[in-house]
Amino acid sequence: MFSLEGYREIDLSPRVKARIHRADGSIEEGNRDPYGKPWVMKEGVFPGDNSLFTLYWAPPGDEVWHQERMTSHHGSHVQGGKGHISHWAGMPADMHGLWEMPLETFIGEAAVCNLTDLAPREITDPNEYPRGEGWNMKSKSGDLRGQEILPDHLDSIQKGDIVLMTSPFNGLESPWLSQRTAEWLINDRQIKMLGLGALGIEWQYDLKVPSPHNSPLRRMFLGANIPIAHPLVNIERIRSQRVIYFGLPLNFKKFEASFIRAVAFEAPEASL
């Protein structure tokens, strides 16, 4: 019989509280997700039975989220390639949507990579780091920057794993995931999903470089039908190098991303 008795559960999804425009005209304040995005809703009344409902929508003129539209990229979510970046130049024709991926893509054994030893270093070659700061598109010699994440740093990853990755460092001092290491994760380790901490790993770089060289890691992983879950929290609370991960997308077709409740289950022996 399947049982999680004795397992320690670690919630990897941030607790987000909605900012709600109530039907009586009041506003109930909320908080923001780790990327600074709010969750804004509008309460309404169903005339059939006087019950209340809330729309996932920021009313026009909302001071916190002026765009009105809200998306499934707020809070912890998992994103696939089809319908998201499949229209980009250079993407493979066989990209899958989340709805086309088997459930085991989002459930199973996961390697935990908390890269506490990869402290930032002063760079000597501006070409060795992919990002700059402010208006500078590239870093300069002498800047303190995160180390490149190499396969040698990821020895807990087995073939077919889900991978959860974070570090205690922030911003450009975080370890960064390079294209050569992404290629190793895809082709050698054949990982099935990548989960990234809200902070701690630098992976969203070259976003505005001309196509087809923009967003190289998103291109590589999603192009290989490896979905990405982020922003995750509490990965650093996991004591074991291996856990059972659970983070299912909603069962919607043509949904390029989905909210998830991501949880890690740590084996009893790891909790001692």
Look at residue 140 in the predicted model and tell me its pLDDT. Answer: 87
Per-residue DSSP letter, 197: E
Mean pLDDT of 142-149: 94
Q: How far is CA 256 from CA 41, 81, 163, in A?
A: 21, 7, 21
Q: How far is CA 147 from CA 121, 154, 175, 182, in A?
A: 7, 14, 5, 15
Please, which pLDDT band fits residue 272 given cuts at 50, 70 and 90? very low
> Over the stretch 8-59, which tens digit does the pLDDT of each residue have?
999 999 999 999 999 999 999 999 999 999 999 999 999 999 999 999 999 9
Planar angle of CA 10, 196, 271, nearest 5 degrees: 25
Percent above pLDDT 70 for the chain: 98
Ordered by where they begin, the domains of the chain are: 17-74 (no CATH), 77-271 (3.50.30.50)
Q: How far is CA 271 from CA 74, 77, 107, 141, 266, in A?
A: 32, 27, 21, 44, 7
Phi, psi of 197 (to 5 degrees): -65, 155
Residue 126: which residues within 8 A CB-CB, separation 6 or more?
138, 139, 140, 141
112 and 235 in contact (C-beta within 8 Å)? yes
> Over the stretch 107-126, which tens digit does the pLDDT of each residue have?
999 999 999 999 999 998 88
Task: Give CA–CA dist 205/246, Å, rounded.
Answer: 27
pLDDT at 249 over 90: yes
